[in-house]
Amino acid sequence: MTKKETAQEIGKILDNLYTELPIPLDHKDPYTLLIAVLLSAQCTDKRVNMITPELFALADNPFDMAGQPVETVREIIRPCGLSAQKAKAIVKLSNILIEKYEGKVPAEMDLLEELPGVGHKTASVVMVQAFGKPAFPVDTHIHRLAYRWKLSTGKSVAKTEKDLKKVFPEDEWDRRHLQMIFFGREYCPARGHKPEECPICSKYGRKGMK
């Protein structure tokens, strides 16, 4: 069975398991999504969703956020971790959005990646979830599962992204990205589940992996 054929069969299982795909991070527009995804680095989506209501009550747009003291932002987002770096990035990128883009979040990957605190994965999430443009964000769950399911070599997140884009059709990227996140959270061995209990690993997983 080729990787594309395996991916097709895995896709069928994912579609049966996850018919509804809510976006994990609460937001109301591209800007609030951008900030939420930035905060999610090394932090759970659940915790981010607990913190953003207070942050967005303070400022939910770049014009209001740009004028906030970094320390004020830092105190609110402290539970997310890396609060010093993230607070500086949030205030700085808000100023950049005003200066360069009239307060709007650019809908281009390379422009997003130029913003402070915005890496490739963050930019990919914004591209697909805010603007509906094809992207395949890869987080640790997806990186791990792609290797476990023999869809990628697992050498790097960048390589995993390229591999997954090859085996899944472009119009499935957004759906597969979310499904793999939900699947990883539910069946990942790191959370106490055994590979033989996994409806995909039991059929398509690498042998000998725990």
Q: Among all residues, which ones are annotated catalytic?
A: 121, 139
18 contacts: CB under 8 Å, gap ≥ 6: 178, 179, 182, 183
Output the CA angle 131-134-135, nearest 5 degrees.
Answer: 100
**Residues in the chain, how many?**
210
Phi-psi region of 192 (alpha: psi -120 to 50; beta: other; left: phi over 0): left
User: How many of the other CB atoms lie within 10 Å of CB of 17?
Assistant: 14
16 contacts: CB under 8 Å, gap ≥ 6: none
132 contacts: CB under 8 Å, gap ≥ 6: none
User: What separation in angstroms does the CA of 153 have from each of 127, 157, 164?
Assistant: 25, 10, 11
Contact 30, 75 (CB under 8 A): no
Q: DSSP letter at 61?
A: S
- The two structure tokens encoding residue 73: 């932002």
